Structure 1
């Protein structure tokens, strides 16, 4: 029988997920306040942002595997307690070095918590309920990223520019404490969990994966501060380390070392296509807020609150459409994602046009309607893709599968910000802020179109398979690997 407390448990997971994902974007508008309050150099400000994203992405897959093996409730609570303490340390920082270290710990803790959420949804829900639950989680992913600048602006406006940045972190304390108390009472145990030895967690695989992801992300998150082309040599190192990781994981056998990531997952078409799609989409999606806040605050001299308000239509549209997408995904499948990506494409193109037609401080108002359209489309992308990507994953592997999906989002964000940022900053000094915003938005749009092509390819392949009377055969026979009821992919 389904756990009667599952919806209350989901609410706890969603609040925790909102906190950890919000801290990816909320700090963007707090950077001027941090610089003024701590006299922070630009290089340290970059690490306040990128350090969190780097640590977050680094531990997603190992933390998902640890939750699958040791118990998701325990790992969730440990990660959430550490995140709450790290938030307090961030708010109390007396120097930029203190703040950077606390942000690294906070990012690590966020990476521990996040994969447990998708795994717990897999465990607690099935059929159409799972689609609804993933729809709500997708709404949190979209809204937390989009609403961060607005909440940050409101907090700084209320608390003052000098010390307002501290309350951006302190706001996590009451939420974290309440979630911890409720998690202990409401979250279910993991039936397959058992005491594990360190070697059962594939420490060598974790080391290969961690160093490979670090080498992959570092040149992107430091693209503006690390001058010179030698940083890109790390991509060769990353490719070698990740190739070694794949070879090592493929040698793991049942009864021996359990792999940190079961490579059979990537023989499920819905899974690997969903991971690729969301990587490309996040490369375009998250960069919208990066260049928009820069353009509005630095170029048009908007306050933190005004910049956050200008981007709010995207957050509103994303939140509204995410709930709808969660209910419709089982009926329409991947074509719903195609519709969403098409709307984002149209919305971003119209945003670029609006900046041309209404230059100057009126640009924020002109962007509102196009960003609303893009936000509505985004809600039909993140939520349904999350459901479709994890629908055929066996529950015992849900943590590592969810961690891999989230890692794709973090890698996509880092790559996108590096690519868009390089184009944006190259144009600022030469042609001004409006042109830089325009060029950066074109690069963001290119990533979204690439994700749209992946979705169209999946729809075309599924249509061809239906005509031939065949379908994708998954490598698992676990009952939980069957798609949700009514899945039309």
Structure 2
């Protein structure tokens, strides 16, 4: 049997890494459509529906930076394989869960496993390629993520309708096993200087974020004591990071004028984006009695708009107009939400297409501007922190919009909150764009 050439082996290894990225994004989006069907098939209150998504994204966000550090210490390929194995086993547990509590617990394990997988991807690609091939390899991530975003809601609706909601978790098993056995193609890579792990910082983030998110999903209304405790722990985390010998977050990032604004903008924007993709299927299925396939097809214009506008923004708009494109994206997103709010479910397909166009138009210039003033030694920490805040924003969006919908029984209040958050995101990124503009002006 002929031996695989070195070049083919590297590109096959890249396919393994891209499959892992797609698997994680599919799992996050596929459940948003299947949530109401899962609730119908398992004992438990309607308040469990947002947790089917939030239980995944919360540990994903909380452990993401630590997952990257573990790869630095123990080897990225080793941690990647450990994460994939955990993800497959957790997917099996989700698919066979007899009641909602066990499903939510298994989703949390999935999210923690994803936090071991995703941070290793860029480092492993850099270990495989260099020069022009590296740029080509990194450039392949965007289309794969865009395709996964389009496929997730549609696949979730079709699988749930044709087979069962359990199939949306079982689909991870063959894909995960293929990634696990294909990981032997990866070249081991770790940091030249092994960083220490900030266990205290990680525990504070997990506890603080959990105490903030949990009461927001309660349809009876948030518990002020729990919210205050969560906020207090995050404040303690901030002070702990200032004194830690090996902080979870690179302290120098906060000396840049625009980076804190980027974090605030990311939190608010992804709260809107993920919350919408949670509330719309809930309204269609729980409020209007539509089937799960219809809910998946209704989200398809949003995903397609996101994929198209991301490509257009990167190729045409950002090179011509720079970071100002972000505000155009936020305006389109807000217009789409207001259209859905004012015209109702009959307008959802084209209103969501408008939202998707806004999302893609925003994200490309946003991440470019957010990382523009970051110094080379801060890049890994900055990218990891932005990704973690993105996931936390998604979790808060599911909690806020999903909890509000379940508490009021209508999508009107949730969509109104989404529009308010989109406007808040525009205000939050103002310092970021002015910071980038002032640098270019010098």
TM superposition score category, shorter chain reference: 0.7 to 0.9
Matches of 1:324 and 1:70 in 2, distance apart? 39
CA distance change for structure 1 residues 11 and 102 in 2, over 3 Å: closer, same or farther?
Answer: same
Offset, 1:99: 2.4
**Deviation larger for 340-349 or 326-335:** 326-335
* 2:262 aligned residue: 274
* 1:233 aligned residue: 225
Are the aligned partners of 1:21 and 1:144 in contact in 2 as well (CA < 8 Å)? yes
2:73 corresponds to 1:69: yes
Matches of 1:215 and 1:12 in 2, distance apart? 36
Q: For 1:45-124, what aligned pairs fall within 5 Å after superposition?
A: 45=49, 47-117=51-121, 120=124
Equivalent of 1:242 in 213, 234, 238: 234
* 1:211 aligned residue: 207
Are the aligned partners of 2:69 and 2:197 in contact in 1 as well (CA < 8 Å)? yes
CA distance change for structure 1 residues 139 and 382 in 2, over 3 Å: closer, same or farther?
Answer: farther
Q: What whole-Å deviation, never above 9, does each CA across 1:279-334 have from its counterpart, x for those lacking one?
A: 11011111212221122112322110011111111111111222333445466542
Matches of 2:438 and 2:374 in 1, distance apart? 23
Matches of 1:265 and 1:4 in 2, distance apart? 39
CA distance change for structure 1 residues 330 and 219 in 2, over 3 Å: closer, same or farther?
Answer: farther
TM-score by length of 1: 0.77
Matches of 2:114 and 2:268 in 1, distance apart? 22
Matches of 2:307 and 2:45 in 1, distance apart? 36
Equivalent of 2:331 in 335, 342, 349: 342
Q: Which runs of 5+ in 2 are unaligned?
A: 1-6
Q: For 1:127-166, what aligned pairs fall within 5 Å after superposition?
A: 137=141, 144=148, 147-159=151-163, 164-166=164-166
Matches of 2:128 and 2:109 in 1, distance apart? 29
* 1:178 aligned residue: 178
Offset, 1:261: 1.8
Offset, 1:143: 5.8
* 2:3 aligned residue: none
2:388 corresponds to 1:404: no
Are the aligned partners of 2:36 and 2:282 in contact in 1 as well (CA < 8 Å)? no
Equivalent of 2:197 in 195, 201, 205: 201
Counterpart secondary structure, 2:249: coil
TM-score by length of 2: 0.85
Offset, 1:130: 7.9
CA distance change for structure 1 residues 11 and 69 in 2, over 3 Å: closer, same or farther?
Answer: same
Q: For 1:412-427, what aligned pairs fall within 5 Å after superposition?
A: 412-427=393-408
Offset, 1:131: 8.0
Matches of 2:149 and 2:418 in 1, distance apart? 16
Matches of 2:131 and 2:308 in 1, distance apart? 23
Counterpart secondary structure, 2:165: helix
Offset, 1:188: 5.7
CA distance change for structure 1 residues 126 and 245 in 2, over 3 Å: closer, same or farther?
Answer: farther
CA distance change for structure 1 residues 70 and 403 in 2, over 3 Å: closer, same or farther?
Answer: same
Counterpart secondary structure, 2:162: helix
CA distance change for structure 1 residues 465 and 34 in 2, over 3 Å: closer, same or farther?
Answer: closer
2:17 corresponds to 1:31: no
Counterpart secondary structure, 1:53: helix
Counterpart secondary structure, 1:165: coil
Matches of 1:457 and 1:175 in 2, distance apart? 42
**Deviation larger for 185-194 or 407-416:** 185-194
Counterpart secondary structure, 2:118: helix
Are the aligned partners of 1:119 and 1:399 in contact in 2 as well (CA < 8 Å)? no
2:274 corresponds to 1:286: yes
CA distance change for structure 1 residues 23 and 310 in 2, over 3 Å: closer, same or farther?
Answer: same
Counterpart secondary structure, 2:166: helix
Counterpart secondary structure, 2:328: helix
Are the aligned partners of 2:58 and 2:392 in contact in 1 as well (CA < 8 Å)? no
Matches of 2:337 and 2:306 in 1, distance apart? 14
* 1:445 aligned residue: 419
**Deviation larger for 116-125 or 285-294:** 116-125
CA distance change for structure 1 residues 315 and 46 in 2, over 3 Å: closer, same or farther?
Answer: closer
